[in-house]
């Protein structure tokens, strides 16, 4: 597959901040994030409905979709960074104009619920995006994490990255595109066509899920023929607030054995302040405990 790689982020570029999922309850964090990016010599614009709210959403589906489409359609915008995750992206995917996305490729950044948009942009628009820090909890934090910032700018300027695991569950070497994201968000898409049609290294992380639910979600994915066919390696980030970590370790090992593919865990891919930026859809190599993108 010939995926589209947007141009590297360059000083002086214009960054749009949009909120396609949950509402922004901490407006000051958004302003701090905007100020930080401007201090790094980028122009920053806020989407029209950035501070909207409709229950647990950052505005109506119509408003959030309008902001998403406008950010891609605007020729003056080079990069789009999502304000936060939460919930809401799933409600948009059937109405997104994927031709608009494909014809106006831009760096698109976010994680958690934003995984859904990254997966669909890769699938339907052939666009490589970024599992990356967001405005509210990262760029707009009162204390920004230096590793997180460094990884972000390296990834968006197309520099090689190497990530190290804490534990190897099944040794070996695997190649493919890097694909996955927030596990619960991915599983919410089951029932539609969202899995790549080529070999991939699957990466996953999550927050606040008990081991049996992580087991259920992984099993749900592994029950899909296309997943089993194309998954060539397993890259597990941090699964935060797990009560029985030894059970989680066993689950990772068991999953790797079932699929017969290499597996490592403990990568800096998570909801924590310290997180790597993953170019979603780029070629990568998993070699025992090292992921090279």
Express each pLDDT in 91-113 by its tens digit.
999 999 999 999 999 999 999 99
Q: What is the mean pLDDT of the chain?
A: 97
**Cβ–Cβ < 8 Å for 36, 25:** no
* pLDDT digit string, tens, across residues 109-138: 999 999 999 999 999 999 999 999 999 999
The CATH H-level (homologous superfamily) assignment of domain 162-292 is LD-carboxypeptidase A C-terminal domain-like (3.50.30.60)
Give CA–CA dist 191/213, Å, rounded: 19
Spans of all domains in the chain: 14-156, 162-292
How far is it between the farthest Cα atoms of the chain? 50
* pLDDT digit string, tens, across residues 198-226: 999 999 999 999 999 999 999 999 999 99
The CATH H-level (homologous superfamily) assignment of domain 14-156 is Murein tetrapeptidase LD-carboxypeptidase, N-terminal domain (3.40.50.10740)
* pLDDT digit string, tens, across residues 50-84: 999 999 999 999 999 999 999 999 999 999 999 99
The reported pLDDT for the residue numbered 159 is 96
Instruction: Flag whether pLDDT at 33 surpasses 80.
Output: yes
Average pLDDT over residues 177-194: 97
Long-range contact set of residues 30-37: C-beta below 8 Å, sequence gap at least 24: 30/83, 30/135, 30/136, 30/140, 31/140, 32/139, 32/140, 32/141, 32/142, 33/135, 33/136, 33/138, 33/139, 33/140, 34/135, 34/140, 36/139, 36/140, 36/144, 37/139
Average pLDDT over residues 245-251: 97
Centroid of chain to Cα 260: 25
Cα 283 to Cα 38, 145, 243, 245, 268, distances in angstroms:
31, 26, 34, 30, 18
Q: Following DSSP, what letter does each residue of 128-144 receive, concatenated?
A: -EEE---IIIIITSSS-
- The pTM for the full model equals 0.96
Instruction: Flag whether pLDDT at 47 surpasses 80.
Output: yes
The reported pLDDT for the residue numbered 12 is 97
Q: Show Cβ contacts of residue 143 under 8 Å, excluding neighbours closer than 6 positions.
A: none
What six digits make up the tokens of 243? 């009560």
The reported pLDDT for the residue numbered 1 is 76
Report the DSSP beta bridge partners of residue 15: 44, 79
* pLDDT digit string, tens, across residues 264-274: 999 999 999 99
- % residues pLDDT > 70 (the chain): 100
Average pLDDT over residues 151-167: 97
Average pLDDT over residues 155-177: 97
Instruction: Flag whether pLDDT at 16 surpasses 80.
Output: yes
């Amino acid at each position: 597959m010939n995926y589209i790689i947007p141009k590297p982020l360059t000083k002086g570029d214009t960054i749009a901040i949009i909120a396609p999922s949950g509402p922004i309850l901490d407006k000051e964090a958004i302003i701090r994030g905007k100020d930080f990016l401007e201090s790094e010599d980028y122009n920053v614009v806020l989407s029209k409905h950035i501070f909207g709210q409709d229950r647990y959403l950052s505005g109506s589906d119509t408003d959030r979709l309008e902001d998403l489409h406008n950010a891609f359609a605007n020729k003056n915008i080079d990069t789009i960074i999502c304000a936060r995750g939460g919930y809401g992206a799933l409600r948009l995917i059937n109405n997104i104009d994927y031709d608009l996305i494909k014809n106006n490729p831009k760096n698109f950044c976010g994680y958690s619920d934003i995984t859904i948009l990254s997966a669909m942009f890769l699938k339907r628009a052939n666009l490589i995006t970024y599992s990356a820090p967001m405005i509210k909890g990262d760029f707009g934090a009162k204390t920004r994490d230096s590793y997180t910032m460094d990884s972000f700018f390296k990834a968006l300027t197309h520099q090689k990255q190497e990530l190290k695991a804490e534990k190897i569950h099944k040794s070996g070497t695997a190649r493919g595109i890097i694909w996955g994201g927030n596990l619960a968000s991915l599983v919410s898409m089951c029932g539609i066509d969202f899995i790549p049609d080529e070999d991939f290294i699957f990466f996953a992380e999550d927050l606040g899920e008990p081991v049996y639910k992580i087991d259920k979600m992984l099993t749900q994915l592994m029950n899909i023929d296309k997943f089993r066919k194309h998954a060539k390696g397993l890259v597990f980030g941090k699964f935060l607030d797990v009560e029985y970590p030894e059970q989680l370790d066993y689950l990772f090992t068991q999953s790797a054995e079932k699929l017969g593919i290499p597996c490592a865990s403990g990568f800096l891919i998570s909801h924590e302040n310290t997180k790597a930026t993953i170019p979603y859809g780029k070629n990568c190599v998993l070699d025992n405990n090292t992921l090279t993108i």
